[in-house]
Structure 1
Amino acid sequence: MDKEHALEEMMGKLGDFGRYQGFQFFLHILAAMTAGLHMLSLVTVAAVPEHRCAIMGVDSTNFTESWNSSLVLNAIPLNEHGKLDSCKMYGPNKSLEHCESWVYDTQYYKSSRGIEWDFVCSRRWMGAAAQTAYMFGVVLGSIVLGKLCDSFGRKTVFVWAGILQLLFGTAVAFVNDYYTFISIRFLYGIFGSGSYIAGFVLTMELVGPSRRTLCGVTFQIMFAVGIMLLAGWGYLIDNRFYLQILYALHAVVLLPHWFLMDESPRWLWAQGRARESVAIIEKALKINGSTEEIDTPALVSQCKATCTKYSEDSPSGTFNLFKTPNMLKKTLIICGCWFANSVVYYGLSLNTGKLNGNPYFITFLLGIVEMPSYIIIMYYLDRIGHRALISTMMLLGGISCLIVAALPHGSTSATGIVMVGKLFISGSYSIIYKYSAELFPTVVRSSGVGLGSMCASVSGALTPLISLLDTLNPKIPTIIFGFLALLSGFSTFFLPETIGRTLPQSIEDGEKFGLGDTCFTNCSGRRMSNASEDIPETMIPLDVTEKKS
């Protein structure tokens, strides 16, 4: 047997998706739920409700004058939208002055960091910086934890990230100093998505090709569930301290994974730890009720030969993603897709307070509106392919953003189109995870997904700052989001299709993978006749495949 087939035959005996994979997958996707909740926690715990200048002699700590009273209307001018100005009031001789203090509409938010520290007017940057600090933590986490996943294993990183997100998520609730808050938010961000990255890679390396689409999309569904939980708990708990503690405690569900979850057999194999890899597969076969037997001595011998090849030709590390021309092209385009998807996704998600309606309900809707896109993906992805679907969804998401920019600010129609844009961009975002995992070879897969996630985190960190441009014109951020989505959607045409094809193992495999395959030469995603033959990753015994054909 050719040594390149050894791993695939062993994984093939396991089948695409059995009881063992189902249980492990359930453990993996819990990380997606906690990631969604942590990522957008500031939407509730640091919310900035409607506000106006506090009027000396009229408003006090115990009493706030009605916003439509003559006293208020005579003291505060109206803005261009016919609402009370949030930052200015009349001074002596009807001259305009900047507010020194504010009162807040507590209809939806009675307690938040935004109210405590006045994230308004000239202090708006403080709220943006708090979210940016978290996202820059995610950037560092993507780099460091992605590398640690490839060096020390997916399971180790998964569990430690869960422990530390619990620790820092709790600590941030107790902080009373703004700059300490920012520092802990940064540390919180490093580990907030660490388990997500490791869990996603674990799933992609464990399940068979016919189930990767469903499993990949389910990760995104669980992320959306995290957003819906965020809104639900925010609605029920009006104290930001207890709310943040509750958000942090969701990480507890990740702690038993050290005892329940297995390491990736593919990663163990790539590290030359064949006996451990085979032992996991044997355990999985028993749980799946399979009678297949594994020749452990032969597989260990094959692994040594294979891993020698990898150690000589394909050392792991992020740098290897840029060493060869085809890998460089794919890496740059896919990172651009991550960047654009993230900036649009979080641009729409973080600005719910600017939309018309109950902010908790809108946040919940922004989570639930993702579900139709996932249904579309589960039905069409294996029929159309990653490339055509992700480019179409990004282009439609970009067009939606430009339509929103053309509609009246804060209108109901704008809110509706935002929901449509979120539907499309969440769909493309869900594909990018699976697409990246299949484009990169095993020896750098976590590093590749981590690099892409880092690019997404950089754009996520920039999103609150881009949103501050609405002080110049409310349409500017949305126009930027729209053009980035359009540009990235077009660039995706130049990536190869991965549906039904073997996951590349070495850097050499990764460089050969998809050569000459673009939407302009093969837009259907079908295998090109002049493409090099892949190792058939059937996830069932190769001899059985030959009999079926």
Structure 2
Amino acid sequence: MQVLRVRRNTMLEVDKILEKCGDCNRLQLLMLLLFCLINVLSALHYYSQTIISFVPKYWCADGLSSSEPPAESSCWPLGQNGTVRQTCHSYDYELYMGYESLSSEMDWICADAWKLTLGQSMFFVGSVIGTLTLGCLADIVGRLPILIVANLIAMAGNLLTILGTDLTLFCIFRLISGFATDSNFVMMYILVMEYMRPSLRTLGLSICIGMFYCLGSMAAPWIAVLTGSWRGFLLSTSLPLLLVPLFYLVVPESIQWLIATQKYDKAVSCLKRVARFNGKEVEESAFEEFIEECKYSQQNQKASPHLLHLFKTPRLRRHTLILFFKSMVITLCYDAVSRNVQGLGISPFLMFSLSATAILPACLLIIALQDRIGRKAMASVSLLLSGVFISGTGGLLFAASASSKTTKLLVSLSVIGRFGVTVAYNSGAQYATELIPTCVRGQGVAAVHVAGYAFTFFSAYILFTRSIFSPLPEIILGVLSLLGAGLCLLLPETLNRTLPTSLDDGENFGKNDRWYSFSFLEKRTQSATTLATQNAKMPSDSSVYF
């Protein structure tokens, strides 16, 4: 993406002028509050796939005279023996807390269960297409319009889903809904990051994500219970998205995008608006000097290489392929584990909320440890623990009987697995951003991120394998997590090191590292001056995708 080719010194110039206009003041507080709202809304949108798809206990109602339901779900007429199965024409359900899901309303179970799986997959097809399309449009029309458009698309997709229960329409509308996924969150992330003081970005953004994405995730199943049906859930979680267009009245456009597209007058207007909101007086000469510095930087920048250059040299190619695979594994496991709330012995509503509690501690752990033990250790250990606990859940499902102690252990293992994969997911973006050379960082990170979303297409199918063999989803996800943990050991550490800026730097970066080399085991030989120089070369916030 072209805008990302603007050099780091322009970003430093933006940070300097924002310091004069206010980079930790009223506007930043308001933007953080709006970002908290976006976190809640995006969590409700993302997990709508899971909530509308809950499958309650069911049994064949053909010729059933007794009102007493069977002990287990069954696709066949009760009391049927022999190898020849009769087709069931109608089903009864034991609804969870009276909630009517799409599965129970449409009878998309047993032989028709594939219909729901197909619709869920189309959501992620839409997310891949949408991330690429809206990302490119964001470089043309700006971040703020795309933020608003993405959230309106999410609302339209969900509302259309309420009307389209035919399989073809359902798939189309879920694709539309998925089209907005990621852009409805990331654009606001970028805007808040750019207008905040660099030293506060990681802490402020991580706390907002940890608390309010967690809150939205935990609230989702109970909104469904209160509304009583999947239609009511989609309606109640979609209408609040009408608030997002009001952001246009208070949220300024990206300064870096305006400068990169040479919209200098609009950039100055945004800066003056920030200064007024924050009660700051800034001389006109400061704005003129800022624009002149930006123009000089752009005149002297050279043409940047493109994404395919990452695959031209052996070590850089290996690192890039590992990052792609790691993103695929982490994103797939994150989605599948967060949705894997059925078949564990308790209500899926309660299991969903318990699982979501892992989000906030995961964010806090990243804040506390990532700059201490290093990116490599954080990525590999979190994936290792996730793989062990997820696999343990599968093994217990296979071996254990349905007792209260077993249920508690299953739930505990599942929550711990969700915690590990959440840590890996949230820390993975920063590792990729630091490892990919600056000259292709924007394009490379965007490609890695999209590859991860593309792989989530298989999430619904992995969960569908539970109908074949109960612990199979946990076994598949556990093995993938362990494989990802092993591959992370082949990547070099980036903490406290000068990050690669050119392709040659990327090829030679960490050349002497071994698979067992970790930052927290190394002696700190660098002086404070060296570290300060390195920090100046690093991105203000390395988890930006666009």
2:386 aligned with 1:397: yes
1:25 aligns with 2:32: yes
What residue is the counterpart of 1:78 in the other structure?
A: none
What is the CA distance between 1:347 and its match in structure 2?
A: 1.7
- Aligned-CA RMSD value: 3.6
CA distances 1:237-286 after superposition (whole Å, capped 9, x unpaired): 11222221112113223221222212222233333334443443454345
Change (3 A) 1:7 1:358: closer
Query: Secondary structure of the residue that 2:97 maps to in structure 1?
Result: coil
Per the alignment, residue 380 of structure 1 pairs with 369
Q: Offset at 1:378? A: 2.2
The two structures have a TM-score, normalised by structure 1, of 0.82
Once the two structures are TM-superposed, the CA of residue 434 in structure 1 deviates from its matched residue by: 4.2
* Corresponding residue number in structure 1 for 2:226: 236
Alpha-carbon distance in structure 2 between the residues aligned to 1:303 and 1:324: 33
CA contact (8 A) 1:169 1:244 kept: yes
Give the Cα–Cα distance (whole angstroms) in 1 for the partners of residues 248 and 169 of structure 2: 31
Could you tell me whether the CA contact under 8 Å between 1:111 and 1:239 is conserved in 2? yes
Q: Secondary structure at the match of 1:176?
A: coil
Q: What SS does the aligned partner of 2:86 have?
A: strand
Residues 1:224 and 2:214 are matched in the alignment? yes
- Which residue in 2 is equivalent to 1:47? 54
Distance of 2:422 and 2:8 partners within structure 1: 37
Residue 460 of structure 1 pairs with residue 460 of structure 2? no
Give the structure 1 partner of residue 543 of structure 2.
none
Give the residue type in structure 2 aligned to 1:297.
E
1:74-122 Cα distance to aligned partner (Å, 9 max, x none): xxxxxxxx73544464448796435333211124344221012222122
Q: Which residues in structure 2 correspond to 1:52-451 (within 5 Å)?
A: 52-56=59-63, 58=65, 65-67=67-69, 83=72, 85-87=74-76, 89-91=78-80, 96-217=85-206, 218-288=208-278, 295-310=286-301, 312-314=302-304, 328-409=317-398, 411-412=406-407, 413-436=409-432, 447-451=443-447
Instruction: Return closer, same or farther for 1:503/1:93 CA change in 2, 3 Å cut-off.
Output: closer
Distance 2:422 2:244 in 1: 25
Displacement after TM superposition at 1:442 (Å): 7.6
Percentage identity across aligned positions? 23
Q: Distance in 1 between matches of 2:506 and 2:444?
A: 14
**CA spacing shift, 1:430–1:240, aligned 2, 3 Å:** same
Measured after TM superposition, the shift of residue 232 of structure 1 is: 1.9
Cα offset for 1:135? Answer: 1.1
Aligned mates of 1:99, 1:244 — CA distance in 2: 30
Distance in 2 of aligned mates of 1:124 and 1:528: 59
- Structure 1 runs not aligned, ≥5 long: 59-63, 69-81, 541-549
Structure 2 unpaired stretches of 5+: 1-6, 541-546
The letter of the residue matching 1:452 is V
Distance 1:104 1:314 in 2: 60
Q: 2:18: which partner in 1?
A: 14
1:340 positional shift = 1.4
If asked which structure has higher relative contact order (CA below 8 Å, sep 6+), I would say: 1
2:360 corresponds to which letter in structure 1?
M
Q: Tell whether the 8 Å contact from 2:108 to 2:116 is kept in structure 1 after alignment.
A: yes
For the residue of structure 2 that corresponds to 1:103, the secondary structure is strand
Q: Structure 1 residues 534, 383: CA separation in 2 closer, same or farther (over 3 Å shift)?
A: closer
8 Å CA contact 2:120–2:460 kept in 1: the answer is: yes
CA contact (8 A) 2:373 2:519 kept: no
Which shifted more, 432-441 or 233-242? 432-441
Could you tell me how far 1:512 is from its partner in structure 2?
Answer: 8.1
